[in-house]
Chain A
Amino acid sequence: MKKLIISLIILAFAGALHSQEKGSIGFSGSYTYMPEYRIHGAGYSVSFQRNLKTWLGLEAGGVYTLGSRTIERGETVNGVKLLDLNYHHAAYSLYAAPVITAGSGRTVSFDLYAGPVITWQSNVFDLNRYELPVSPDYIGRMTDIVYVNRVLEGTFFGGIAGCRVNVRAGENWQVNLGLNAMGIIKAVSSVNASLGIRYKW
C-alpha cells in the first residue's frame, strides 16, 4: 500500500512539473456519508488538474467535510435516563490522483481517478450519556450526568477513488457530477456525491 501511494504521489508531481498541456481548476460541493458510523455531512473541494494527454491528467485537490449523527434514545432503563448520543466529524484532506478521461473534447466526458490521500480528522463519538437515579445515600457525584466519549483525532493516510461525468457548459466551463469513496486507514472513511464546476484553459 505504501509503495502504491508513494508511486502515485511521484507520478502526480512529476507529471504536473513536466507537463506543457493545458489544465483546469474545479470547485464542487458534496454530500458525504460515513458508512462505518452512519454519519451524514457535507463538504466542498477545490482541485487543480494538469492534462498530460487528451486521455490522461493529474489532479491534486483539497477537501473539507463536516458531518454529524444523533442517536436518539430518550428512554429510562432501571431508573437511569439514557440521553441522546452524538457523533461529530470534521476533516481536511489533500489528495493527488491520475485522471483518465473518456470522451475528452466532447460535450459529455467521463473521468476516472484514484490516488493517495492525507487527511487530518477530528472525530468525537459519544459512547454514553446518561442521568443517574437519585439516591439518598449520596452526598454528590462528580456529575449527575455521566458523559463518556471517544476522541479520534490526528493525521491519517488513505486513498481516494472516484468517477465524474463532465458536461460542457461553455467554451471554458464544465459542470460535473461525481461519486467517490475515500478510504482512511484507522480513521473515518466516507463515500461522497458531488456537484461542481470546472474552468479549463
Chain B
Amino acid sequence: MKTHPILTLILSAVLIASCDREELTSPVAVFSTQTAPRYMFKLKLDASGSFSTVEGDYLEYRWDLNGDHMDWETDWSSNPVITVQFPYENNGYIGLQVKNRSGNITELYQGFYSYTDYRILKAWTDLAIEFRRIDYSIDLPDRFWTWVWAYDNIQLPDSQEWYNFPFSADRADYGTLMPWAVANALDEDFRLPSKNDWQKMIDYCGGAALAGFNMQVKAEHGLRLPCPGIVSSGQLQDHGESGYYWTGDEADEDTAWALKVSADSNEAEFVILDKSTLASVRLMIEFFQFRQ
C-alpha cells in the first residue's frame, strides 16, 4: 500500500489551509476643514485625524474635491492636508479616500455648508467720496457682533498730500494712497483698523497662511483687497503686486504697522512702514448687542 503520496497530499493540504493568518482591516478615514468653509476662500482640508488600526501602517490620501464621484482630483499623496478653494456657494460634498499599506481603501464623503451672513450698504461718513461697507453679522455665544468694514479702498479728492491714480477706473479700484497721519484721522465714526482688528480679519479669512489670498479673492462676501502698491520716496512701487493697508497701531514715533497682501501669495503679513509712506486704507467699525 503506497501511502507516502497520500500523506504528502495531506500535509500539503494542511499547509495550504494553515497558511499565514490575514487580518483584513482598512483605515479609519476622517477629515475636516481647519477653518470654516466659505465660497471661493482657500482652506485646508485636514485628514490627519485618519488612522490605521494596524500598528506601523502607512496611509495615503486622495480627494474628490467637487464631490461628483467621477474622478479623483488629486493623486495619492502621503500628505493628509491639502489646500483648496472651497467650491460650493451654499453646500456640497467632498470625498476622501484613505489607503493603507496593504491597499485597503476607506472612502468617506462629507457634506459641508458655506454660510456668511453679510450685507453690503452705502457707508454714511464725513468723507467727500463715498464708499461701500460690508456688514458681517456674527452670532457669538454671549452677543451678536456686527462687524463693519469698508468694502472699497478709501478715496480722497486730489491733493498734494497723498497719491491718486491718474485714471478714474484705477481710483475706484485702488483708492487713494495716503500717509498714516491722514489715514488715522479720516472719520469720526469709522476708524483705522488696529493690528488686532486686522488679525481678527486674518483669522476670519483662514489664518495668516491663507488670508492673503482670501482677503483678495473676488468673492462678494470678501474684502476684495486690491494691490495698488505703495508710494515711497515719491515713487509708486509694487503696483499690481502688493497692497499695503495701514493699521491704527504705531510701531514708534516715525513708523506704523501695515498689513501687506501680495497677488502671488496666499499669506498676509504685518510690516512696519514709515508714516510718511503712502499706503491704502480700509476703515471699520463694530457693534455688539448682548443677549438678555
Contact = CB atoms under 8 A, between A and B. Distances in A.
Interface string B2-41: 0100110111111111111110111111101100110000
B108 interface: yes
A34 B25 CA distance: 18
A146 B9 contact: no
Most buried by B among A77, A100, A102, A181: A181
B112 A139 contact: yes
A159 interface: yes
B16 A112 contact: no
A138 B110 contact: yes
A139 B30 contact: no
B17 A135 contact: no
A106 interface: no
A17 interface: no
Contacts of A142: 93, 108-110
B116 to A, nearest CB: 14
B28 A159 contact: no
B266 interface: no
Main secondary structure of the interface of A (DSSP, over half): strand
B14 A181 contact: yes
Interface in B64-99: 91, 93
Contacts of A128: 25-28, 53, 106
A79 B28 CA distance: 11
B4 to A, nearest CB: 11
Interface in A127-170: 127-128, 130, 132-133, 135, 137-142, 146, 148, 150, 158-163
B141 interface: no
A48 interface: no
A126 B106 CA distance: 11
Interface string A79-114: 110100101000000000000101000000000111
Interface stretch (A19-27, A35-43, A57-65, A193-201): A35-43
Most buried by B among A79, A146, A185: A146
A80 to B, nearest CB: 5
B49 A78 contact: yes
12 contacts: A77-B28, A78-B51, A112-B6, A114-B13, A125-B24, A127-B24, A128-B27, A132-B108, A146-B29, A161-B13, A163-B10, A181-B13
Interface of B: 1, 3, 6-7, 9-22, 24-30, 32-33, 36-37, 49, 51, 53, 91, 93, 104-113
